[in-house]
Amino acid sequence: MKGKKGRREERIRRFSAYRVAEHWGIILTTMILFATGLCQRFWHLDLSQGFILKMGGVDNVRLLHRYAGLVFSLEIFLNVTVGVGGIAELPEGASSQQVDTMPSDQHSAIAAAVGLAVALAFVSFVGLYVHRRLR
């Protein structure tokens, strides 16, 4: 990447791909929780009723809200655990940027666990959703 005077600027990767994916997961589950929670709270509005009907009824919306809450709780727990663990393991004289740019075996194991948990929650939700739609 070229700077103002034609010099090549070096870019430092501040966060690993795992940390970026972790934060996007938190953002998406937060959006799901907002949408499903608000349409249950303000059920009398036409927009909420349309959303509830598109989701197959209030039972499906409540089920999705509960699963999203569970996934959100796991994501927040892992986010805090990795953050505190990364600070606790910070070598002498190293900055947090250097630690985040080097994925460790611990991050890989946590990323696999998060991926498995999200996949299981998604498959469970889809299975229950299809089961309820086929009744």
Most confident of 6-10, 27-31, 79-83: 27-31
Confidence of residue 65 (pLDDT cuts 50, 70, 90): very high
Q: 89-123 b/e with 16+ CB inside 10 Å = b?
A: eeeeeeeeeeebeeeeeebeebbeebeeebeebee
pTM of the model: 0.58
